[in-house]
């Protein structure tokens, strides 16, 4: 509240700064209530346990007003999603009860499992006042492998059902034709529809709460307050950027491979310029778009850059679209950060995390109080699919983290998501209830964090034993060939390892594979550790 009063937020619009701060927290509360509704109403373990879903509130022009405490990739990519919706369905043509959906990465989405649901909010007088949106990672949307994250895909058509902006509801009436098409093209239709209806419920809650806010403040004051909040965050972000060391900072990061060419490393090159309140990220020198699904559409590259600016500036700045007005990007065409369709993109999370880590690494020498050693920047995704002993189909996925980098303030955190993701480690029971798989052990991977004055965070070791006859398994790893670098004399973290035990034989995984496992086979995962900080 002190910062709002000192900078005079809202005074230009004649709005009391304290009332504006109350509204700002009200909007954050609405977004978080949407998120809670989403998580508690969903069907799939990846949402209920993994928390892989997000919610946001937008202005009628498509700028973020408030975000839930959720997944940064989702929250940032919802911005171009809403803007794409508005191009197809302008506000003037929207009706109360309309709800839209899409997942097309080349129209603003991220990858096909992330389906966005967007709805206009109408006030008591029948006029639109805002837009609410949710994004959920759906456990399966079809494609060539269960879980819809095939690491060997070579075009987007192999990755699942692709949906442009479409009406799910028109004035409160469900589009059953669309539902029928979706159900026919996914492996777990009841699960998908359960999660989709949870998204609709979350949007409904958001709409109710925003309509109540307008009834309290009035339509004109509410819209003025929205603009004042955005302008205030823009000014605060620009001021924070001016306090950083001005200049251009460079860093290079590497992906293990593209999932198809397993012995070819993929480069992320960034030059980040901070100057006069602007944050520009230039990706010139980054690898060309690749054959496999580790291409990252422009919205994902934008999400990584948005996360970085929030990490480098003050946490006291309210997070909304005003923060992102100060970010510009140079995205070389037909590169891994800006591919052309129909390039596959389903594994873009690994690329976004590597981009984010690389941007932050560019600053670890000049901002040691904000940026520590490199994190593992890994979100190992595993998907299992097949039929259980009763002939029932199952698809279940899991997200497994590595270690964060140490800093001048202390050791890195172990087995935690860093960068632009924010999901949770699964309870063993959740996986074992959903699939014929036994988890034999889960433990911290000793000595995987880089040594130093402060140790890097440790990775995780986890062993899955297959109990069914035939389970199709996707292993999307990262950090098998490149370590998380230490800082100020700290040592690098350990690389990842993955292997399959069949009887007495061991089969190593080159970070990505889609493979069939049979009864008695064991999949062992060892995620990488974070870099250490300082000389021991």
What mean pLDDT do residues 146-155 have? 98
Q: Which two tokens stand for residue 151?
A: 């690491």
What mean pLDDT do residues 377-394 have? 95
The mean pLDDT value of the chain amounts to: 95
pLDDT for position 286:
98
pLDDT for position 374:
97
Res. 13 pLDDT band, cuts 50 70 90: low
pLDDT for position 10:
53
pLDDT for position 8:
47
What mean pLDDT do residues 293-308 have? 97
pLDDT for position 7:
40
* Contact (CB, 8 A) for 277 and 242: yes
In this predicted structure, the answer to whether residue 184 has a pLDDT above a threshold of 70 is yes
DSSP 20-88: HHHHHHHHHHHHHHHHHHHHHH--SHHHHTT--EEEEEE-TTS-EEEE-SS-HHHHHHHHHHHHHHHHH
* Rounded percentage of the chain residues whose pLDDT exceeds 70: 97
pLDDT for position 2:
27
In this predicted structure, the answer to whether residue 489 has a pLDDT above a threshold of 90 is yes
Helix (H) or strand (E) holding 222: helix 219-242
Burial class, 208, CB count within 10 angstroms (exposed 0-12 / middle 13-18 / buried 19+): middle
In this predicted structure, the answer to whether residue 152 has a pLDDT above a threshold of 70 is yes
Q: What is the DSSP code (8-state) at residue 527?
A: P
What mean pLDDT do residues 361-384 have? 95
In this predicted structure, the answer to whether residue 9 has a pLDDT above a threshold of 90 is no
* Rounded percentage of the chain residues whose pLDDT exceeds 90: 93
């Amino acid at each position: 509240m002190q910062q709002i009063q000192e900078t005079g937020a809202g005074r230009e619009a004649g709005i009391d700064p304290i009332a504006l701060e109350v509204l700002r927290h009200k909007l954050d509360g609405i977004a978080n209530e949407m998120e809670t509704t989403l998580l508690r109403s969903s069907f799939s373990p990846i949402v209920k346990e993994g928390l892989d879903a997000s919610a946001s509130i937008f202005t009628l022009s498509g700028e973020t007003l408030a975000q839930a405490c959720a997944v940064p990739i989702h929250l940032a990519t919802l911005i171009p999603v809403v803007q794409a919706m508005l191009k197809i369905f302008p506000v003037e043509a929207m009706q109360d009860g309309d709800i839209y959906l899409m997942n097309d990465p080349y129209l603003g989405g991220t990858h096909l499992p992330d389906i966005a649901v967007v709805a206009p909010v109408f006030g008591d007088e029948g006029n639109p006042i805002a837009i609410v949106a949710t994004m959920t990672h759906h456990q399966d949307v079809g494609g060539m492998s269960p879980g819809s994250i095939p690491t060997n895909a070579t075009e987007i058509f192999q990755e699942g059902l692709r949906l442009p902006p479409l009406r799910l509801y028109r004035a409160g009436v469900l589009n059953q034709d669309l539902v029928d098409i979706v159900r026919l093209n996914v492996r777990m239709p009841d699960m998908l529809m359960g999660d989709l209806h949870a998204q609709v419920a979350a949007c409904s809650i958001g709409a109710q709460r925003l309509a109540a806010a307008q009834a309290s403040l009035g339509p004109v004051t509410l819209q003025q307050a929205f603009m004042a909040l955005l302008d205030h965050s823009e000014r605060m972000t620009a001021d924070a950027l001016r306090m950083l060391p001005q200049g251009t900072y460079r860093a290079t990061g590497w992906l293990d491979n593209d999932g198809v060419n397993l012995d070819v490393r993929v480069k992320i090159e960034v030059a980040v310029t901070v100057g006069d309140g602007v944050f520009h990220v230039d990706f010139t020198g980054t690898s060309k778009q690749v054959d496999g699904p580790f291409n990252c559409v422009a919205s994902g590259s934008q999400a990584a850059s948005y996360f970085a600016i929030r990490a480098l500036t003050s946490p006291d700045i309210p997070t909304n679209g005003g923060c992102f007005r100060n970010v510009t990007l140079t995205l070389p065409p037909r590169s891994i950060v800006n591919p052309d369709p129909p390039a596959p993109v389903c594994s873009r999370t690994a690329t976004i995390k590597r981009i984010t880590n690389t941007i932050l690494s560019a600053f670890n020498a000049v901002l040691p109080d904000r940026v520590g050693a490199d994190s593992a920047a890994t979100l190992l995704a595993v998907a299992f699919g097949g039929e259980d002993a009763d002939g029932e189909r199952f698809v279940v996925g899991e997200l497994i983290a590595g270690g964060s980098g140490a800093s001048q303030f202390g050791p890195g955190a172990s087995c935690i998501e860093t960068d632009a993701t924010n999901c949770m480690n699964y309870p063993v029971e959740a996986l074992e209830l959903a699939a014929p798989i036994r988890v034999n052990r889960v433990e911290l991977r000793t000595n995987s964090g880089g040594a130093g004055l402060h140790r890097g965070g440790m990775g995780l070791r986890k062993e899955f034993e297959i109990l069914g006859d035939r389970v199709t398994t996707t292993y999307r790893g990262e950090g098998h060939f490149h370590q998380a670098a230490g800082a100020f004399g700290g040592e690098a973290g350990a690389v990842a390892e993955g292997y399959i035990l069949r009887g007495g034989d061991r089969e190593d995984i080159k970070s990505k594979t889609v493979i069939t496992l049979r009864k008695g086979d064991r999949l062992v995962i060892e995620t990488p550790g974070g870099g250490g900080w300082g000389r021991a």
